[in-house]
């Protein structure tokens, strides 16, 4: 099997981001939860690609250039003539809390599985080592796109590809239609091997009263490996025959919480792909998330990007 076939593929959006810096000014960057996760996976030495769609504008060029510079495969980053990528504006308060406003409706990533070459993307998923996506990914697609994406996941899983999913529920992305979000998530979860939800998100979407309730619900969908992120309270890890809380090794006051979950997910998946146990991987994930929140913006400068 060649390296292309062994890679992890992160499916979702890659956006233009305007983030406020410590001087109060906004700086231009690239972001997106799947894109952030891909960068941290690649930095951990895991062959990684991003499956998305972008425009033919200079800002899309910059996103592709960043991916290439980070060693991410760009062959699944489809370019669409006359279109523009999504724009996110990120502000942070003095406590590190984030306020995000996003313009997503016209972005080509929404049409990834309806573009003329969608079957090429779908086929690539079946040749991956791992496919990662999120609730934000699901919120992008129409019913047609969702049907094709979920069918591709089914084929990939049948071919032995591991499927990882972060619920990452954002009500705005679903236009407040919680019922549709639940229906789509339920279909996706039937095809998931590794779930990496954040407890606060699960409480909003499903009304889970505790991380333990989240684990129980996801196990009912047949998910065999579950890591419920719960901020400074640690992460609840549940696998077949094992169930325990992995504490945060060091509680950090965040400079900016943007992409903390993306970093956690990448740290966890990179460790698992390297052969570490789920509990060891959760420790690695905590360490990377701790590094991410010490910096403004989604992507830590490379000098501070160690995963292990």
Q: How far apart (Å, rounded) are the C-alpha atoms in residues 175 and 142?
A: 13
- Of the candidates 162, 157, 281, 187, the one whose C-alpha atom is nearest the C-alpha of residue 229 is 281
- Of the candidates 177, 19, 178, the one whose C-alpha atom is nearest the C-alpha of residue 101 is 19
In this structure, are residues 292 and 263 in contact, taking their beta carbons and an 8 Å threshold? Answer: yes
Question: What are the tokens at 156?
Answer: 């990939």
Q: How many helices (H) and strands (E) does the chain have?
A: 11, 13
Beta strand residue intervals within 118-274, DSSP E: 130-134, 162-166, 194-195, 225-229, 235-239, 242-246
For residue 109, which phi and psi values (nearest 5 degrees)?
Answer: -60, -25
**Is-catalytic flag, 193?**
no
Q: How far apart (Å, rounded) are the C-alpha atoms in residues 30 and 175?
A: 24
Residues recognised as catalytic: 262
């Amino acid at each position: 099997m060649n390296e292309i076939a062994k890679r992890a593929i992160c499916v979702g959006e890659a956006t233009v981001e305007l983030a406020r810096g410590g001087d109060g000014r906004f700086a231009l960057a690239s972001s997106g939860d799947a894109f952030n996760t891909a960068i941290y996976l690649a930095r951990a030495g895991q062959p990684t690609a991003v499956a998305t769609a972008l425009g033919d504008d200079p800002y899309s060029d910059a996103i592709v250039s960043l991916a290439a510079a980070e060693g991410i495969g760009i062959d699944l980053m489809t370019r669409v003539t006359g279109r523009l990528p999504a724009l996110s504006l990120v502000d942070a308060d003095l406590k590190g809390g984030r306020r995000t406003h996003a313009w997503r409706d016209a972005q080509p990533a929404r049409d990834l599985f309806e573009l003329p070459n969608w079957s090429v993307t779908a086929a690539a998923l079946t040749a991956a080592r791992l496919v990662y996506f999120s609730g934000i990914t699901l919120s992008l697609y129409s019913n047609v796109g969702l049907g094709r994406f979920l069918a591709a996941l089914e084929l990939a899983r049948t071919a032995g590809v591991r499927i990882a999913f972060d619920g990452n529920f954002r009500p705005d992305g679903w236009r407040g239609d919680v019922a549709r979000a639940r229906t789509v998530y339920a279909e996706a979860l039937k095809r998931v091997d590794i779930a990496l939800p954040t407890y606060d998100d699960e409480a909003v979407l499903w009304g889970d009263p505790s991380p333990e309730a989240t684990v129980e619900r996801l196990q009912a969908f047949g998910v065999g490996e579950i890591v419920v992120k719960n901020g400074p309270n640690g992460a609840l890890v549940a696998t077949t025959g094992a169930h325990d809380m992995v504490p945060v090794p060091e509680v950090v006051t965040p400079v900016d919480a943007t992409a903390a979950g993306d970093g956690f997910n990448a740290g966890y998946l990179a460790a698992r792909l390297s052969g570490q146990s789920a509990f060891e991987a959760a420790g690695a994930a905590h360490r990377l998330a701790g590094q991410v929140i010490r910096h403004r913006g989604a992507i830590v400068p490379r000098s501070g990007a160690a995963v292990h």
